[in-house]
Chain A
């Protein structure tokens, strides 16, 4: 059973701080890694994807990938109350036709 693990949280950070979200995966054949944000009662929204080892930055968001350790992380700088949501980590399979999601980490940014 291919698995993606996340700490369910909640992760509470003060406004303006850096939020660090982590994810581990079991399938060494995975090539693509995604972070989705999901507000309560809404559908997931893609915020970052990463293919290569290292860091990828987009605005306040940085995704980090370490394939040797099977570890993906998401850093959110200057966290805002509007960042409060559940963050889902997802990885693809060898066939490239499905995503396996983690259970999500609930982030709370306190003003």
Chain B
């Protein structure tokens, strides 16, 4: 059973709208990474937060932004939604940027219409 919780599980938005996805990490996991997984593809790295600071970013435009809070929760915000943003969004938490310790949440399925 994963200790990482994501909400909501499913979401439908209209093109041009904004969305906020949430992730609650395991206690002590000071690192959170967000990935986008389009249907039939592998996850793509969006960004990582470590101790509330951005610690690396993938090839995603600035309309993808994030926050990490002291209580180990985090947010992914996407502005000006496009149809291609439809995907499964996964957060993965770990301790001290250790990727072996990655625990993925169950994901948020976003559909943009």
Contact = CB atoms under 8 A, between A and B. Distances in A.
State yes or no: do A and B come from one complex.
Answer: yes
Nearest to A32: B99
Contacts of A100: 45
Contacts of A47: none
A45 B104 contact: yes
Contacts of A4: 42
A24 B40 CA distance: 19
A88 B42 contact: yes
Nearest to A106: B40
B77 interface: no
Given A34-B99, A88-B42, A103-B41, A98 B33 contact: yes
Contacts of A42: 106
A34 B40 CA distance: 19
Contact of A43 (B97, B99, B106): B106
A11 to B, nearest CB: 16
A98 B45 contact: yes
Contact of B45 (A32, A44, A96, A99): A99
A97 interface: yes
A99 B99 contact: yes
B72 interface: no
A91 to B, nearest CB: 10
Q: Which of A49, A98, A103, A104 has most B Cβ within 10 Å? A: A98
Given A34-B99, A44-B104, A101 B90 contact: no
Contact of A104 (B35, B42, B97, B107): B42
A34 B107 CA distance: 20
A43 B43 CA distance: 10
Interface in B58-77: 58
Given A43-B104, A98-B48, 5 more contacts: A43-B107, A88-B43, A97-B55, A98-B56, A102-B42
7 contacts: A42-B106, A44-B90, A97-B55, A101-B35, A101-B43, A104-B41, A104-B42
